[in-house]
Structure 1
Amino acid sequence: MANKQALRDLQHRLAQRMQAARETTQTVQWLAVECAGQALLFPLKQAAEIFAPVPLKAVPYAKPWMLGVANLRGGLHTVIDLAMFLGLRETGNRLEAQQARLVALNAELNINCALQVDKLLGLRGDEHFQPDTGESSGPRPRFAGARLLDQQGRRWQVLDLEALSRHEQFLRIVD
């Protein structure tokens, strides 16, 4: 029971920090997550609430990365395994980690969707990063934003959640 309360407290503090970060005058703020070992950054303006994994209802004939449908605070949301969608994890390998979280997309994007990520890494500001001037590995989808390096030399990929939510492959959930 204490673990559930600690998780609720953490989620509440993160939600407060995300709201405070949205209201500050800094140019860009990020929600840092990890998927299959890949460090990703979501713009705070495009991310909404964070949820612990909940029971899902399977959707027949859906792509393997479409995990199902969940009730999140009374709203029906599709749940996408982001690592699987991005090709970072094979389709047969489902994530069973306790650190997994669901990040709902902002309601302003007009899509009831939550992305399953392997773990939350916290909030970051632009001051934590510099542009990654390394070589590009070919064409990238529109939702793949800039690549950044943090002060420890770790590479981060920015994901434009609005562009992702309108990407043709993302919207085509059935085989």
Structure 2
Amino acid sequence: MAKRISLREYQQGVMSRLQSAAAVAQVDARLGVMIGGENWLVDLSDVAEVMPVPAIASVPLGFSWFKGVANIRGNLVSVSDLPAYMGLPNPGFTAASRLVLLQPRHLPHAAVLVNRMLGLKHLADLTVQERAINQPPWVGDVYQDAAGQCWKILNVAELVAQPSFLQTGIA
């Protein structure tokens, strides 16, 4: 006969397994995105939400990489064209493009445009490569997958700390 456990014990067991699985997934998993024509990895803890690109209202006297503001559930969110800010060639934004809302601890009400989502990638499946000299501070470690594709870590905290990223308009 099966062992009987109380509902409380069952719920505690489920919660502990969920917390354990979430902790393992957060350590290793990264969100794969395409920025320009490059593959990037973003820590899941740096992302508040990913959504289709909404209507964006342009802002006068903004830099070309600052697309403007979007109304996200009643909140105005600043939207930056990440490929343009990074100086990467941009094949253009399509229906597959996404708006990545950043965690408010980094920069409240801020989002970046990426060309498309590439799914979750696990660092255990990638090989660390040597970093190039003179990389911008928001470029973290560089990895290579089994197919030979290069993946760069996007350091969101460093990106939003850049005075050039915070200065979105012509003074």
Shift of 1:78: 0.6
Matched with 2:24 is 25
| Equivalent of residue 161 in structure 1, options 151, 156, 162 | 156
TM-score with structure 2 setting the length = 0.81
When residues 59 and 174 of structure 1 are mapped into structure 2, their CA distance, relative to the original with a 3 A threshold, is same
User: 1:152 and 2:147 equivalent?
Assistant: yes
Q: 1:44-85, CA deviations, whole angstroms, 9 ceiling, x for partnerless residues?
A: 110120111111111111110000100112221111111111
Shift of 1:22: 8.6
User: 1:127 and 2:124 equivalent?
Assistant: yes
Q: 1:98-120, CA deviations, whole angstroms, 9 ceiling, x for partnerless residues?
A: 11100100122242111100000
Q: How does 1:8-19 map to 2 (within 5 A)?
A: none
Q: Identify unmatched segments of 5+ residues in structure 2.
A: 1-18
Q: CA RMSD in A?
A: 2.0
Matched with 2:99 is 102
The AA in structure 1 aligned to 2:80 is I
Distance 2:155 2:57 in 1: 27
Distance 2:163 2:20 in 1: 31
The AA in structure 2 aligned to 1:128 is D
Q: Is the 8 A contact 2:93 2:115 kept in 1?
A: no
Q: Identify unmatched segments of 5+ residues in structure 1.
A: 1-19
Matched with 1:140 is 135
The size of the alignment, in residue pairs, is 151
Runs of 4+ in structure 1 over 6 Å off: none
The AA in structure 1 aligned to 2:152 is Q
Shift of 1:89: 2.7
Q: Percent identity, please.
A: 26
Distance 1:96 1:130 in 2: 30
TM-score with structure 1 setting the length = 0.79
Distance 2:20 2:149 in 1: 23
